[in-house]
């Protein structure tokens, strides 16, 4: 008996009823439906799958450089087969190591956790949850994806350049990133890196403007701003952050292009390069780039984190069968985080020789972010309290997100305090901090979103058992990898070191590094299991039999099981209430399009 | 071959897991989806507690294994570093309590309020009182941390005590150059276009006579126990960072923009060998800012000595000026006329360069 037959013996009839809804109006060709689609749902899937490709590549890169860190003495002949001269004799060269680290960072931060996360869910959820047929400009939305695609291609091509891809760290600080003579990776690899990033900025602006316009203008009747699900609020603030900060990054890159190619001295001064001699550039400031970079770079952290927070709030409420606690406080804290995100960038620069007074203002503002963050955490905890928790895969990842956000957020209080940062800056403590709070936590938000909205995306469920294995191994693995790194940081171990063997102060962690590398490989393998589950379930998963499988209140669950372009077959539903009437007046859930009853209690 | 085996085994494990997962799904359908969903809900609920307990044990065990490998196992090596450490402990106490408390609450709530047929959820949408409490308490706690932090910050970034020695630290790909001002306690001016790896690694302007007694050393620097020292930090090429992990200090080396950093060494290198029980102990300067493919090997060494040892060490050092112009060295007894003429020409060249700059 086929998988399909076993799984759907009982629901076949129901499926017939909904089977051809997606053929409704215009007849799409393959190209307009799957490639140059203007349907926000398809664009979301394009973002998601491209993001997945990058996640695999970026993850694989981390496995490769973890091999070097974990087994610095060993050689792996197969590495030479894959990487050629970059792994002469089966050992990754320093140049390759730094290229891998840099590309891993760039790709994960921008392509996976920005495009893959907010690109996917902003596209998918905004029209569905606010009650719109599509984005304000579907065409611009399509362009947004294709600019991202172009950025991906350029970034990918930079991996195959003779002098290697850019290898100066994802933050690309000049002068290192400006001078090909200082590092081979800063030659044509860097040109491609900047072009790719410029295309990415365009993509993200096209997307962001569209998200903002859609949320502000295209809400269905009755959907006031204060009735929006928290996902939409989070995606709204994310888009605002992106639109206001990415242009600053681009301006920084443009100056860098000028310094690299046209002999200007925005970032360059007083430089003597071995083998080249003194450069003519004088009067520039290398620190200027860092200000421009981190003016995006810090909001970027929240661009990554806020969508995860929004989705976690929604998923947590749905699966606790209980309203999100403190809706207005959740919106307020998102707003506070969005504002503060712009006012803390220099905490990445405490040890650059920054004016101490300026530094102290940034300490104050940075630690202030802990307040809205604390509000969010306590509100999530209270949402669980006296709920009726269903551990769907989405919910598991949402709980995991909260755990990781607490763990990684608390170490932010260490690093945000400049007098402690002066000791811990650029050590493994920082690696542990941002991987937990931004990297893994946001990944968890993304997984939660994928598991939760997969039924809406593909009309099928993902396999639960595989999802449970995926969650528990990843959760344990994330802590096993990053928790001990705090200790390496407390030993002062600097990040971005290819080899620690000559260092009397840092070489005591050989075994630990091996352990971490091993866990990293297992966790990576489990992510492949997740991908398998994802793609297998698209075609063979258990079919969704009811319109609203999670019993959720938001509007996307009022659309057909497989909504076509335009989302609703008839009228767009009218909204009469907020999104969180769970467990109210003894009713398990009350969908947003249900009119308020005469005898309903007020909350 | 090993690679092939590992791949084969991994694929096999994947297949087994996949088959189990599929079978579980079938069984679930046969048993009734609702029933099997509730069963796995119970399992996951239990795993929440298991994870919490194992996690907390893991936190303890990790600390047990690794604590002695960190710097916290012994004193900070600078007077100011001790302030960093005490601040670190206060921060650890605050964040540690919150960490343990909130993680316990999170996983226990998840376990305790897992789905049960007879549970009626409590419709609890907001409470101004609760929200007020968890706005104010973090705000107050953070204020305390900020106050401690800023007090230290202004001390660290302020001026060093009077009588501090001054050393100039210059980073380059991939090593460190140190310059002492010599007897006159003042550095000669320098200009990067004068840099010449053979005789003038810092680009010192020789006609500035303050430079004539400056001492230049590479890789190893000498400091005095108990004597505050101020670094004037610069870079010759890209951004580096003077990482002084035992002294708990760090400052970027930026080309074109000098930065400073000061601290007071508390133990000599030999004393640290005893304290750490490591006969090979060194105070290492690690470059903490990505600076190119040799970043990981950009190491400098600081040797902290007693005053007498230091004086003896420095008495043997020759000013860098004499390395550049050996015939100016009074210990060179045979002045030759032709050489003097050549030397006279060199500073003239340098000054033309300087004028060109201005």
Q: Say whether both B76 and B192 belong to one domain.
A: no
Give pLDDT tens digits for B278-316. Answer: 999 999 999 999 999 999 999 999 999 999 999 999 988
On chain B, the residues whose CB falls within 8 A of the CB of A582 are 121, 123
Supply the pTM of this predicted model: 0.92
Residue A1 has a pLDDT of: 45
Beta carbons of B62 and A487 less than 8 Å apart: yes
Q: Which residues are within 8 A (CB) of A28 and not within 5 positions of it... i.e. 6 or more apart?
A: A37, A565
Closest Cα in chain B, distance from residue A583 (Å): 6
Q: Which member of B70, B154, B293 has the closest CB to residue A487?
A: B70
Please provide the DSSP assignment of A3-41 as one string.
HHHHHHTTTHHHHHHHTTGGGSSS---HIIIIIS---HH
Beta carbons of A508 and B69 less than 8 Å apart: yes
Closest Cα in chain B, distance from residue A13 (Å): 16
- How many distinct structural domains can be found in chain A? 1
A274 in any annotated domain: no
A280 in any annotated domain: no
Contact between A600 and A585 under an 8 Å Cβ cutoff? The reply is: yes
The residues pairing with A278 across neighbouring beta strands, listed in sequence order, are: A272
Size of interface A-B (CB pairs under 8 A): 390
d(CA B338, CA B88): 63
Please determine, for residue B357, whether its predicted confidence score (pLDDT) is greater than 90. Answer: no
Beta carbons of B122 and A183 less than 8 Å apart: no
A416 in any annotated domain: yes
Q: Say whether both B345 and B212 belong to one domain.
A: yes
Question: Nearest to residue A443, comparing CAs of A304, A296, A316, A537?
Answer: A304
Q: Which residues are within 8 A (CB) of A596 and not within 5 positions of it... i.e. 6 or more apart?
A: A576, A577
Contact between A476 and A440 under an 8 Å Cβ cutoff? The reply is: no
Beta carbons of B299 and A503 less than 8 Å apart: yes
Give CA separation, B238 vs A172, A253, A287, A501, in Å.
12, 18, 11, 24
d(CA A390, CA A387): 9
- Average pLDDT, stretch A263-284? 93
d(CA A483, CA B57): 13
Residue A551 has a pLDDT of: 93
A598 in any annotated domain: no
Beta carbons of A271 and B256 less than 8 Å apart: yes
Mutation site, B82, B202, B250, interface A, largest A CB count within 10 A: B250
Least confident range of A191-205, A516-530, B2-16: B2-16
Beta carbons of B289 and A403 less than 8 Å apart: no
Q: Say whether both B67 and B180 belong to one domain.
A: no
Is-cis flag, bond preceding B268, omega within 30? no
The residues pairing with B220 across neighbouring beta strands, listed in sequence order, are: B301
Q: Say whether both B278 and B296 belong to one domain.
A: yes
- For A77-81, the CB contacts below 8 A with 24+ separation are A78/B3
Please determine, for residue B346, whether its predicted confidence score (pLDDT) is greater than 80. Answer: no
Q: What is the CATH number of the domain that holds B254?
A: 2.60.40.420
B12 in any annotated domain: no
B99 in any annotated domain: yes
Contact between A363 and B148 under an 8 Å Cβ cutoff? The reply is: no
Please determine, for residue B344, whether its predicted confidence score (pLDDT) is greater than 80. Answer: no
Please determine, for residue A159, whether its predicted confidence score (pLDDT) is greater than 90. Answer: yes
Structure tokens at A55: 């996640």
Mutation site, B42, B138, B247, interface A, largest A CB count within 10 A: B138
Residue B352 has a pLDDT of: 42
Residue A82 has a pLDDT of: 87
Question: Nearest to residue A144, comparing CAs of A70, A40, A233, A236?
Answer: A40
Give pLDDT tens digits for A473-507. Answer: 999 999 999 999 999 999 999 999 999 999 999 99
Closest Cα in chain A, distance from residue B138 (Å): 6
- Average pLDDT, stretch A397-412? 96
Q: Say whether both B316 and B264 belong to one domain.
A: yes
A303 in any annotated domain: yes
Residue A8 has a pLDDT of: 60
Please determine, for residue A577, whether its predicted confidence score (pLDDT) is greater than 50. Answer: yes
d(CA B325, CA B320): 9
Q: At what angle do helices A510-540 and A441-458 cross, to 10 degrees?
A: 10
Give pLDDT tens digits for B17-52. Answer: 999 988 888 888 888 888 888 999 999 999 999 999
- Average pLDDT, stretch A128-133? 95
Q: What is the CATH number of the domain that holds A541?
A: 1.20.210.10
Please determine, for residue A24, whether its predicted confidence score (pLDDT) is greater than 50. Answer: no
On chain B, the residues whose CB falls within 8 A of the CB of A399 are 48, 106-107, 110
E strands in A236-350: 272-273, 277-278
The residues pairing with B170 across neighbouring beta strands, listed in sequence order, are: B177, B234
Mutation site, B116, B153, B197, B243, interface A, largest A CB count within 10 A: B153
Q: What is the DSSP letter of A497?
A: -
Closest Cα in chain A, distance from residue B105 (Å): 7
Residue A463 has a pLDDT of: 94
Residue B336 has a pLDDT of: 52
A275 in any annotated domain: no
Q: Say whether both B340 and B193 belong to one domain.
A: yes
Q: Say whether both B154 and B230 belong to one domain.
A: no
Q: Which member of B66, B203, B257 has the closest CB to residue A287?
A: B257
Closest Cα in chain B, distance from residue A187 (Å): 12
Higher pLDDT, B331 or A596: A596
Return the percent helix, strand and coil in chain A, to nearest 5.
65, 0, 30
Please determine, for residue A262, whether its predicted confidence score (pLDDT) is greater than 60. Answer: yes
B202 in any annotated domain: yes
Contact between A178 and A212 under an 8 Å Cβ cutoff? The reply is: no
Please determine, for residue A589, whether its predicted confidence score (pLDDT) is greater than 80. Answer: yes
What ipTM was reported for this prediction?
A: 0.92
Sheet holding B215-218, edge to edge: B215-218, B175-180, B165-172, B229-235, B259-263
Q: Say whether both B316 and B174 belong to one domain.
A: yes
Q: Say whether both B142 and B211 belong to one domain.
A: no
d(CA A66, CA A194): 26
CB atoms within 10 A of CB B37: 16
Beta carbons of B295 and A498 less than 8 Å apart: yes
Beta carbons of B14 and A532 less than 8 Å apart: yes
Q: Which member of A329, A402, A469 has the closest CB to residue B17?
A: A469
On chain B, the residues whose CB falls within 8 A of the CB of A465 are 20-21, 24-25, 40
- Average pLDDT, stretch A533-559? 94
Closest residue, chain A, to B121 (C-alpha): A387
On chain A, the residues whose CB falls within 8 A of the CB of B78 are none
- Average pLDDT, stretch A185-199? 95
Residue B239 has a pLDDT of: 96
Q: Among the three residues B158, B176, B194, which one is the final residue of a domain in this structure? A: B158
Beta carbons of A286 and B125 less than 8 Å apart: no
**Domain of B135?**
39-112+130-158
Structure tokens at A580: 């969180």
The residues pairing with B232 across neighbouring beta strands, listed in sequence order, are: B168, B260
Contact between A440 and A108 under an 8 Å Cβ cutoff? The reply is: no
Q: Say whether both B149 and B170 belong to one domain.
A: no
Closest residue, chain A, to B357 (C-alpha): A282
- Average pLDDT, stretch B344-353? 44
d(CA A301, CA A109): 8
Q: Which member of B25, B122, B256 has the closest CB to residue A7?
A: B25
Residue A96 has a pLDDT of: 95
Q: Which member of B21, B87, B290 has the closest CB to residue A463?
A: B21
- How many distinct structural domains can be found in chain B? 2
Q: Say whether both B105 and B192 belong to one domain.
A: no
Residue A598 has a pLDDT of: 81
Structure tokens at A351: 């040890």
d(CA A347, CA A413): 11
Please determine, for residue B249, whether its predicted confidence score (pLDDT) is greater than 70. Answer: yes
B124 in any annotated domain: no
Question: Nearest to residue B233, comparing CAs of B202, B264, B197?
Answer: B202
- Average pLDDT, stretch B84-89? 95
Residue B354 has a pLDDT of: 42
Q: Say whether both B68 and B178 belong to one domain.
A: no
SS3 (DSSP) at A558? helix
A253 in any annotated domain: yes
- Average pLDDT, stretch B58-68? 96
What is the pLDDT confidence band of residue A11, given thresholds at 50, 70 and 90?
very low
Closest Cα in chain B, distance from residue A80 (Å): 13
The residues pairing with B285 across neighbouring beta strands, listed in sequence order, are: B300
A7 in any annotated domain: no
Residue B348 has a pLDDT of: 44
**Domain of A507?**
36-264+286-589
Contact between A129 and A231 under an 8 Å Cβ cutoff? The reply is: yes
């Amino acid at each position: 008996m086929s998988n399909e037959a076993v799984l759907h013996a009982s629901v076949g009839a129901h499926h017939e009823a909904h089977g051809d809804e997606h053929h409704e109006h215009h007849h799409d060709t393959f190209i307009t439906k799957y490639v140059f689609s203007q349907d926000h749902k398809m664009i979301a899937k394009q973002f998601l799958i491209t993001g997945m490709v990058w996640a695999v590549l970026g993850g694989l890169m981390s496995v490769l450089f973890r091999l070097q860190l974990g087994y610095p003495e060993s050689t792996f002949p197969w590495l030479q087969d894959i990487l050629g001269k970059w792994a002469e004799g089966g050992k990754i060269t320093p140049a390759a190591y730094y290229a891998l680290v840099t590309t891993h960072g760039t790709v994960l931060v921008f392509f996976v956790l920005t495009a893959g996360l907010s690109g996917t869910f902003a596209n998918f959820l905004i029209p569905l949850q606010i009650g719109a047929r599509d984005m304000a400009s579907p065409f611009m939305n399509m362009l947004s994806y294709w600019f991202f695609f172009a950025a991906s291609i350029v970034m990918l091509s930079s991996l195959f350049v003779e002098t290697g891809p850019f290898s100066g760290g994802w933050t690309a600080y000049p002068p290192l990133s400006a001078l090909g003579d200082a590092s081979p990776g800063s030659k044509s690899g860097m040109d491609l890196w900047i072009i790719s990033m410029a295309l990415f900025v365009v993509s993200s602006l096209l997307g962001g403007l569209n998200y903002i316009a859609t949320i502000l203008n295209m809400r269905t009747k009755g959907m006031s701003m204060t009735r929006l699900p928290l996902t939409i609020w989070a995606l709204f603030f994310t888009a605002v952050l992106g639109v206001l900060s990415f242009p600053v990054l681009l301006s920084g890159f443009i100056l860098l292009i000028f310094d690299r190619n046209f002999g200007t001295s925005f970032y360059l001064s007083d430089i003597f390069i071995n083998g080249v001699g003194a450069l003519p550039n004088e009067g520039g400031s290398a620190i200027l780039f860092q200000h421009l970079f981190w003016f995006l770079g810090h909001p970027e952290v929240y661009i990554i984190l806020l969508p995860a927070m929004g989705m976690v709030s929604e998923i947590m409420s749905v699966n606790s069968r209980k309203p999100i606690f403190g809706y207005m406080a959740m919106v307020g804290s998102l707003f506070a985080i969005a504002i503060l995100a712009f006012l803390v960038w220099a905490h990445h620069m405490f040890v650059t020789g920054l004016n101490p007074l300026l530094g102290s203002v940034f300490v104050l503002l940075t630690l202030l972010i802990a307040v809205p963050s604390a509000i969010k955490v306590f509100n999530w905890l209270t949402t669980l309290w006296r709920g009726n928790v269903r551990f769907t895969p989405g919910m598991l990842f949402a709980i995991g997100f909260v755990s990781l956000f607490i763990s990684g957020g608390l170490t932010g209080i260490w690093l945000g305090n400049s007098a402690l940062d002066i000791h811990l800056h650029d050590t493994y403590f920082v690696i542990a901090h941002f991987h937990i709070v931004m990297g893994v936590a946001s990944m968890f938000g993304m997984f939660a979103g994928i598991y939760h909205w997969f039924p809406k995306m593909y009309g099928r469920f993902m396999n639960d058992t595989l999802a449970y294995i995926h969650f528990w191994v990843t959760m344990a693995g994330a802590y096993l990898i990053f928790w001990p790194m705090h200790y390496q940081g407390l030993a002062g171990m600097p990040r971005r070191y290819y080899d620690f063997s000559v260092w009397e102060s840092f070489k005591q962690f050989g075994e630990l590094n091996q352990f971490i590398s091993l866990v990293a490989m297992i966790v990576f393998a489990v992510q492949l299991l997740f991908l398998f589950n994802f793609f297998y379930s698209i075609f063979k998963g258990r079919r969704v039999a009811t319109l609203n499988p999670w019993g959720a209140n938001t509007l996307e669950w009022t659309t057909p099981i497989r909504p076509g372009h335009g989302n609703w077959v008839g009228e767009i539903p009218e909204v009469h209430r907020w999104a969180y009437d769970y467990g109210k007046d003894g009713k398990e859930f009350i969908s947003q399009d249900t009119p308020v009853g005469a005898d309903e209690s007020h909350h | 071959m090993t690679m092939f085996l590992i791949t084969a085994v991994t694929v096999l494990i994947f297949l087994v897991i996949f088959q189990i997962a599929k079978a579980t799904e079938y069984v679930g359908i046969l048993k009734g989806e609702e029933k099997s969903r509730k069963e796995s809900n119970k399992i996951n609920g239990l795993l929440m507690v298991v994870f919490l307990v194992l996690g907390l044990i893991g936190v303890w065990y990790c600390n047990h294994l690794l604590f002695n490998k960190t710097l916290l196992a012994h004193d900070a090596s600078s007077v100011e570093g001790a302030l960093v450490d005490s601040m670190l402990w206060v921060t650890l106490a605050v964040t540690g309590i919150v960490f343990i408390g909130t993680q316990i609450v999170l996983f226990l709530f998840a376990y305790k309020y897992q789905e049960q047929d007879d549970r009626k959820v409590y419709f609890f949408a907001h409470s101004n009182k609760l929200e007020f409490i968890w706005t104010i308490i973090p705000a107050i706690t953070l204020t305390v941390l900020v106050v401690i932090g800023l007090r230290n910050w202004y001390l660290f970034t302020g001026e060093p005590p009077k009588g501090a020695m001054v050393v100039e630290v210059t980073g380059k790909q991939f090593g460190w150059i140190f310059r002492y001002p010599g007897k006159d306690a003042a550095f000669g001016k320098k200009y990067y276009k004068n840099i010449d790896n053979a005789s003038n690694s810092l680009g010192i302007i020789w006609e500035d006579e303050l430079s004539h007694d400056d001492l230049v050393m590479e890789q190893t620097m000498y400091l005095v126990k108990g004597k505050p020292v101020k670094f004037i930090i610069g870079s010759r090429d890209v951004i580096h960072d003077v990482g002084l992990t035992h002294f708990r200090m760090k400052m970027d080396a930026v080309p074109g923009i000098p930065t400073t950093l000061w601290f007071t060494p508390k133990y000599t290198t030999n004393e640290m060998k005893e304290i750490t029980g490591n006969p090979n102990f060194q105070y290492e300067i690690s470059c903490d800012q990505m600076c190119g493919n040799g970043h990981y090997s950009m190491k400098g060494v600081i040797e902290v000595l007693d005053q007498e040892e230091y004086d003896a060490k420095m008495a043997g050092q020759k000013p860098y000026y004499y390395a550049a112009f050996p015939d100016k060295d009074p210990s060179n007894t045979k002045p030759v006329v032709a050489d003097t003429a050549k030397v006279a020409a060199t500073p003239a060249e340098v000054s033309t360069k300087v004028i060109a700059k201005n």
